[in-house]
Amino acid sequence: MSKFDDLYIGQFTEISHTITQEDITKFVDLTGDNNRLHTDTEYAAGTSFKKPVAHGMLGASFISTIIGTKIPGDGALWFAQNIEFLMPVRVGDILTVRAEVIKKDERSQIIELSTDISNQFRQKVIQGTAKVKIIDQLPAVVPIKDITAKTALVIGGSGGIGSAVCMALAAEGFHVAVHYNSNALSATSLVNRIKQGNRKAHSFKCDITNQQEVNEMIASVEERLGIVTVLVNCSTSKIAAIKFNKLIWKDFETHINNQIKGAFNLVQAVVPGMEKQKYGKIIHINSQALETPMPELVPYITAKGALMGFTRALAFDLAGKGIQVNSVSPGMTDTEQLADVPEKVRMLTAAKTPLRRLATTDDVANAVAFLATGKSGFLCGETIRVNGGQIML
């Protein structure tokens, strides 16, 4: 509950202060207001006041005291004051300062106070109204850091980029769950390589478009390696260049099911564990093809565009739970996916790249590893482009 919620109309408080010559001297030193009516006994005797009068704002300054220390106290921003000076105040007067809440504005978190000051004879010497905005203290910033138990699940871990990601995360101290759908031999070989580095690793077969299989896989990962703290989704379907007039809806379904249905099933399965720990990293592998489309890849690019939207929306929804969602967008990368790309196209692409080469799987994996660790603790909904400078914004 905020301080504003604790306040109520009719709430009041009082403080008292006896005006001294020292108060007046300090006020003059602070403000430079050495008006002789306040400081010179002989001068004051020649006026209708007969005796020196304390500065009006000296008395009014105790309104600030009551606002800053009583109602509302810490966090008070006193920004407006209507004030009337009714009677003179002199050295020796005992002032009673009273503030009462007379209005609250829920939308703006502003309260209005009646502010009255009376002397020892119960005569009102100052009256007015004050407006105060309540500034609540922000929650303490707790940087997102690595946690002790680190388990990464890499979807498509048996593939070119996926296997590089698995090795990079193992090097960062993660236990690695290597997912595969059909390439069991590659997954087993990768697990053995990771274990040689004294990290735990297991392979898991799963069709990510099947929710039941995904749930069973996550349960198995948690049993063998612990709660998933990092999910990296490198999965992709076979990319085939098809002219638009030859496309059928099934071509779209294949990619959308893989990129969106699969991602949805995975995220829904790992988020409960991440929520318990108030920590998690979800990283999707996207594609530069979203920004520089290649011909005859409409279904693939459409699905990747949907994945980008899913990533950003998810990042917004999960950030408050300590879960960061980001993506890595590689340019043309030297993997088996390029097997059907003509050598001339690959050479031209490399030539157009400021770094004069294609991306390697390690280039992509290093970006993923950065997002997977505490070094990326303030990145949310971002895309890291790994393209050698082909796209600069």
Longest dimension (CA), the chain: 107
Cis peptide before 72 (omega within 30 of 0): yes
Query: Are 329 and 290 within 8 A, CB to CB?
Result: yes
- AA identity, residue 173: G
Query: Are 226 and 202 within 8 A, CB to CB?
Result: no
CA distance 190 to 343: 29
Q: Tell me which residue has tokens 């300090």.
A: 26
Query: Are 226 and 200 within 8 A, CB to CB?
Result: no
Residue 12 vs residues 74, 105, 325: alpha-carbon distances, Å = 16, 17, 48
Our separate counts of H helices and E strands in the chain read 13, 12
**DSSP classification of residue 261:** I
- AA identity, residue 152: A
Instruction: Check 8, 180, 279, 300 and give the catalytic one.
Output: 300
CA distance 230 to 333: 23
**β-sheet with 110-118: strand ranges across:** 12-18, 94-105, 110-118, 124-134, 76-85
CA distance 165 to 368: 7
- Catalytic residue check, 300: yes
**DSSP classification of residue 257:** I
CA distance 252 to 103: 60
CA distance 184 to 180: 7
Q: Tokens for 125?
A: 């010497």
Catalytically active residues are 300
